[in-house]
Structure 1
Amino acid sequence: MAKVKILDKELSIVSQFMAEIRDVNIQKDSMRFRRNLERVGEIFAYEISKTMAFEKKEVQTSLGLSNEFVFKHQPVIATILRAGLPLHQGLLNYFDAAQNGFISAYRKHHKDGSFDIELEYLACPSIEKKTLILSDPMIATGSSIVLAYKALLSKGKPEHVHLVSVIGSTEGLEYAKRNLPNNVTIWMAALDEELTAQSYIVPGLGDAGDLAFGEKE
């Protein structure tokens, strides 16, 4: 079963960012909305970096030598398009030497109101024995993040996987925990209790993709 870490259990700058991300008036500024998602991604990167392996490296300064610690291996960062792009950029701002992967997924709706998650596209380097960070701003039912994780396994067996989301529902989190192995850590900035019959998180924040990039037809 996957492990879980939720950032807003302790007050921090994340609390300020989350207040702005959820605020219906601040959301009208799509550039600020994207930047707030990006800043939360940067905080996730910092927290995840504490779990990674480091090695000592001798660095030449202008006055001598200094023994410093650097990443032993760079992670692979992947995201679910399109809503995940700002969060992905925040992670990439800190893991700036990482390789990147991209997944296209969407909800295929049926006449009875139900839907399936469909994957259309996957581009990713090998993740064999690497640290994989997979981001999606919302974990509603949990099915899309689990499906994306399983699809990425076609690129190798990672040493550890970090799933990063800004907001998740309790139902979606439980689904993900049940369907992911113990070498997976799920990171969330906030966890909301309610998931509607249409699979929208309440209070949530709305449609992250539309708020960041404009409404779809």
Structure 2
Amino acid sequence: MRVHVADHPLITHKLTVLRDKNTASATFRALTEELVTLLAYEATRNVRVNEVTIETPVATTTGVALSEPRPLVVPILRAGLGMLEGMVKLVPTAEVGFLGMVRNEETLEPSTYAERLPDDLSDRQCFVLDPMLATGGSLGAAIDFLFKRGAIDVTAICLLAAPEGVAALEKRTAGRDVTLVLGALDEKLNELGYIIPGLGDAGDRLYGTV
């Protein structure tokens, strides 16, 4: 598994505002969208393209276009939904699927309660959106789900991650073509499985249900 932690002052600045407990939900949502667009720029560095020939107003030249089948963007509900707009702004022709996953707060294990994905993901590049990589359970289960459907490579985009979650995901995805793109790698998990220093529950803060 390849891990890329974005090192950019704009990303760090926006994350600092997200972490602040006094940041309002509306601001939190707007900054999340902006952050995901910045992270998506790094995450799509190896997106597949084909060479094409075009006519400019003055000459013939070659460029590239996204290959078929188009990339598939998969937000993990509910918090991943707050990241979707930032991703499709950068890749508007991507297809979108959904995975609904919830973590049991006692066992910390994830379960899937909804999915809207193509039955066959053969030869597809998939981009999974999940704000927080804590224990790695939900994201790991989502990645397993996509590979079982035939995906050839999966890139996960997270705002924050804990080292424990990164290690768990690396072990779970061994031998698969997986890339993890992060806004920041935080210190640790606490006894409740929350990232420290983190930013709290991303879903609650996105939708004002704290």
Pairwise same-fold verdict (TM > 0.5): yes
In the alignment, the residues of structure 2 paired with residue 34 and residue 201 of structure 1 have an alpha-carbon distance, to the nearest angstrom, of: 19
Structure 1: 4+ residue segments shifted above 3 A:
60-66
- Does the alignment pair 1:71 with 2:71? no
Aligned residue among 117, 134, 138 for 2:132 = 138
Conserved in 2, the CA contact under 8 Å of 1:124 and 1:155? no
The secondary structure found in structure 1 opposite 2:144 is: helix
In 2, Cα distance between equivalents of 1:31 and 1:128: 38
1:80 counterpart letter in structure 2: I
Question: Which residue of 178, 194, 199 maps to 2:193?
Answer: 199
| The one of 88, 97, 103 aligned to 2:93 | 97
Is the partner of 2:92 in helix, strand or coil?
coil
Q: Which residue of 2 aligns with 1:170?
A: 163
Indicate how the Cα distance of structure 1 residues 210 and 19 shifts in structure 2: closer, same or farther if over 3 A, else same.
same
Q: 1:35 aligns with which of 8, 20, 30?
A: 30
Aligned residue among 5, 8, 11 for 1:11: 8
Cα distance, 1:62 vs structure 2: 4.4
Q: For 1:149 and 1:114, locate their aligned partners in 2 and report how far apart those are by CA, in whole Å.
A: 20
Q: For 2:206, which of 182, 188, 212 is the aligned residue?
A: 212
> TM-score, with normalisation over the residues of structure 2?
0.91
Q: Which amino acid aligns with 1:4?
A: V
Q: 1:49 aligns with which of 37, 44, 63?
A: 44
Deviations 1:9-43 (A, max 9, x none): x3332112111111222x22x12211111111111
Q: Counterpart in 2 of 1:188?
A: 182
Q: CA RMSD in A?
A: 1.7
- 2:108 and 2:65 map into 1 onto residues whose CA distance is 45
Is the 1:35–1:86 Cα contact (8 Å) retained in structure 2? no
Gaps of 5+ in 1: none
Percent sequence identity over matched residues? 27
Partner of 1:145, secondary structure, is: helix
- CA 1:107–1:53 in 2, change beyond 3 Å: closer, same or farther? closer
Which amino acid counterpart does residue 2 of structure 2 have in structure 1?
K
- Shift in alpha-carbon separation, 1:152–1:159, aligned structure 2, 3 A: closer
Give runs of aligned pairs for residues 119-130 of structure 1, distance below 5 A: 119-125=112-118, 126-130=120-124
How far apart are residue 136 of structure 1 and its match? 0.3
**Number of aligned residue pairs:** 207
Residue 99 of structure 1: how far off its partner (Å): 0.9
Whether the aligned pair in 2 keeps the contact of 1:14 and 1:40 (CA below 8 Å) is yes
